[in-house]
């Protein structure tokens, strides 16, 4: 029988492998037919694409995860994290994120969806200083080399989301049911937020369609 600790162990192992640059072990965590959406809104990584994803985004960087809270519901693990990525140039960018793992009965990851907003992350590199300019140029060249023009374009299009209006719609919908809201992320058609509910830490994820809030999921 799969336990909560089993599921948490899978989700916790992924960033450990990333931090240790253990590519083989990281890839072994994923099931056949896996999907990686990082960020949500970009083209999902499938099949052999996991190698290009690793070589493009993980291999050249030092990536650290600060975990604020983690929740399990059914076969889903949600982690409220802040990711610090230090590039080869020495520049570090900080990414607030909600990581959503769907884990199979064999304890392999079926889907990993990283909810974060590209625009504020990229903005950290849009500074008229040498290291930031070099970092942005190097990252762009690496994406073109590993993902091609199509993949790079699809990644860039992840900036599209329900945006501020979607966030406002979700916050209005939730009203007083949530308190202490301190992280709100719009990724494609989903708004996720860190908060408390009746004094207990929680992450809420809600889908927004045509301005209307649907499929609210609460993890606590």
Judge if 28 and 115 occupy the same domain. yes
Domain boundary among 111, 139, 159: 159
Find, among 81, 92, 143, the residue nearest to 115 by Cα. 81
pLDDT tens per residue, range 148-191? 898 888 888 899 999 999 999 999 999 999 999 999 999 999 99
CATH code of the domain containing 109: 3.10.450.50
Judge if 65 and 122 occupy the same domain. yes
Find, among 153, 202, 211, 162, the residue nearest to 185 by Cα. 162
Q: In the structure, what pLDDT confidence band is assigned to residue 131 with cuts at 50, 70 and 90? A: confident
Judge if 120 and 16 occupy the same domain. yes
Domain boundary among 133, 159, 185: 159
Residues above pLDDT 90, as percent of the chain: 80
pLDDT tens per residue, range 72-92? 999 999 999 999 999 988 999
Task: Look at the chain and report how many structural domains it folds into.
Answer: 2
Q: Is residue 200 within 8 Å of 210, Cβ to Cβ?
A: no
Judge if 134 and 173 occupy the same domain. no
Judge if 147 and 70 occupy the same domain. yes
Domain that holds residue 215: 163-219
Find, among 201, 200, 208, 4, the residue nearest to 103 by Cα. 4
pLDDT tens per residue, range 30-63? 999 999 999 999 999 999 999 999 999 999 999 9
The label of the residue with tokens 């590039």 reads 87
Per-residue tokens: 120: 């504020």
Find, among 145, 88, 142, 79, the residue nearest to 116 by Cα. 79
Judge if 145 and 190 occupy the same domain. no
Indicate the SS3 state at residue 24.
Answer: helix
In 14-75 the beta strands, taken as DSSP E runs, fall at: 30-37, 62-73
- CA dist 148 and 142 (Å) reads 9
Per-residue tokens: 169: 């719609």
In 61-199 the beta strands, taken as DSSP E runs, fall at: 62-73, 76-86, 92-103, 109-115, 179-187, 190-197
Judge if 102 and 150 occupy the same domain. yes
Judge if 108 and 71 occupy the same domain. yes
Judge if 170 and 128 occupy the same domain. no
Tell me the CA end-to-end span of the chain in Å, nearest whole number. Answer: 22
Task: Report pLDDT for 128.
Answer: 65
Judge if 101 and 113 occupy the same domain. yes
Indicate the SS3 state at residue 3.
Answer: coil
Judge if 53 and 119 occupy the same domain. yes
Q: Kindly state the DSSP code that residue 60 receives in the 8-state scheme.
A: T
- CA dist 122 and 73 (Å) reads 32
Domain boundary among 159, 176, 198: 159
Judge if 62 and 20 occupy the same domain. yes
């Amino acid at each position: 029988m799969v336990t909560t600790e089993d599921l948490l162990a899978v989700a916790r192992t992924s960033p450990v492998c990333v931090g240790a640059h253990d590519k083989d072990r990281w890839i072994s965590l994923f099931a056949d037919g896996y999907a990686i959406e990082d960020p949500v809104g970009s083209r999902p990584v499938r099949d052999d694409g996991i190698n290009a994803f690793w070589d493009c985004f993980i291999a050249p960087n030092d990536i650290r995860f600060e975990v604020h809270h983690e929740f399990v519901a059914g076969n889903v693990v949600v982690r409220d994290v802040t990711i610090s990525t230090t590039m080869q140039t020495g520049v570090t960018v900080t990414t607030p994120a909600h990581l959503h793992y769907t884990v199979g009965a064999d304890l392999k990851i079926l889907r990993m969806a990283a909810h974060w907003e590209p625009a504020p992350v990229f903005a950290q590199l849009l500074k008229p200083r040498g290291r930031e300019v070099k970092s942005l140029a190097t990252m762009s060249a690496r994406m073109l080399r590993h993902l091609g023009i199509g993949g790079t374009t699809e990644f860039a299009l992840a900036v599209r989301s329900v945006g501020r209006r979607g966030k406002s719609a979700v916050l209005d919908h939730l009203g007083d049911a949530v308190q202490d809201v301190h992280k709100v992320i719009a990724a494609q058609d989903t708004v996720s937020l860190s908060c408390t509910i009746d004094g207990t830490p929680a992450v809420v994820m809600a889908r927004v369609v045509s301005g209307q809030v649907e499929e609210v999921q609460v993890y606590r």
